[in-house]
Amino acid sequence: MYTPITSAHAAEPPRKPWTVPMLADAKRGGRRLVMLTAYDASFARCMDDAGVDLVLVGDSLGMVVQGQTSTLPVSVDDIAYHTACVARGLSRALLISDLPFQADATPERALDASTRCLQAGAAMVKLEGAGHKLEVIRFLVEREIPVCAHLGLTPQSVLRLGGYKVQGRDERAAARLREDARAVAEAGASLLVLECVPSQVAADITAAVSIPTIGIGAGPQCDGQVLVLHDLLGINTGHRRPKFVKDFLADGGSVAGAMHAFADAVRDGSFPDAAHSYE
């Protein structure tokens, strides 16, 4: 049975529950954001107790929970179910739900899927890409649905990309990423996940946009960092382990310790280091 770590943190004042406007305040104040994925109430509660700021019900659940080879088979029903489970474990962290493959193909479909996520307990939805998704972002934001954008390696594009590869390596691709980042922020996104991009490209984007950036394989200069729970805990999911993954259970000694170690390393800027980033 998990026991929250209290001794080292007992003196901390109660922390306010996160709201969407607090994200921009965090960026302005230079406070790094700590984000993890979760799929059930028990792990979500551990994260909340460990001071994780943002919890994502990622469509990574297709790979790490369902044992699929990609995120493409994940449905809105799956995301809504896991969102409701995770929501029951949280009292402070901001809950974000992924819109699964093609649930955001049109503004109307995205609105239906997002409404289900918010009614299940999420405060924000995440969607991949720019291009025609800019219209979707605007449509959702105008209808009071906060949006997290996701650029760089977008796993729902795996068939077009031909695999899970670092994005934005040449100057043309990097310029396109910078342009897309500005566009999703202008369309009204409140947060931006950058996955598998060279550190300098992520640093430039982070400096250029007013919304917080959350990196995963995007170097240390993002406004926050995210890891998939199973990667944080060193669990072998049968998939190739990317360079940016670090097993925090080895450092932390327990599940709660791993979450605290990750949160501390993100906040003090020691994770990710060069060994867990791309040039």
**What residues are annotated to the active site?**
195
Give the nearest distance from C-beta 229 to ligand KIV in angstroms. Answer: 9
**Interface residue with ligand KIV, options 211, 216, 255, 258 (CB under 6 A):** 216
193 touches ligand KIV by CB under 6 A: yes
Residue range at the interface with ligand KIV (CB under 6 A); choices 55-63, 158-166, 247-255, 269-277: 55-63
* C-alpha to C-alpha distance for 65 and 67, rounded to whole angstroms: 6
Angle, helices 171-187/199-208, rounded to nearest 10 degrees: 30
Question: How distant is the alpha carbon of residue 66 from its chain centre?
Answer: 19
Per CB under 6 A, 98 contacts ligand KIV: yes
Dihedral pair phi/psi, residue 83, rounded to 5°: -65, -45
DSSP per position, 32-101? PEEEEE--SHHHHHHHHHTT--EEEE-TTHHHHTS--SSSTT--HHHHHHHHHHHHHH-SSSEEEEE--T
- The least CB distance from residue 86 to ligand KIV, in Å, is 12
* Of 57-65, 141-149, 176-184, 250-258: span binding ligand KIV (CB under 6 A): 57-65
CA distances from 126 to 99, 118, 197 (A): 6, 12, 18
By the 8 A CB rule, do 233 and 245 touch? no
Segment 234 to 273, residues that bind ligand KIV, using CB under 6 A? none
**Residue from the set 59, 78, 180, 223 that interacts with ligand KIV by CB under 6 A:** 59
- Report the site for ligand KIV in 34-53 (rule: CB under 6 A): 37
Secondary structure letter of residue 111 according to DSSP: H
**Does residue 60 touch ligand KIV according to CB under 6 A?**
yes
| Contact status: 212 vs ligand KIV (CB under 6 A) | no
Chain residues in the site for ligand KIV (CB under 6 A): 37, 56, 58-60, 98, 150, 193, 216, 226, 228
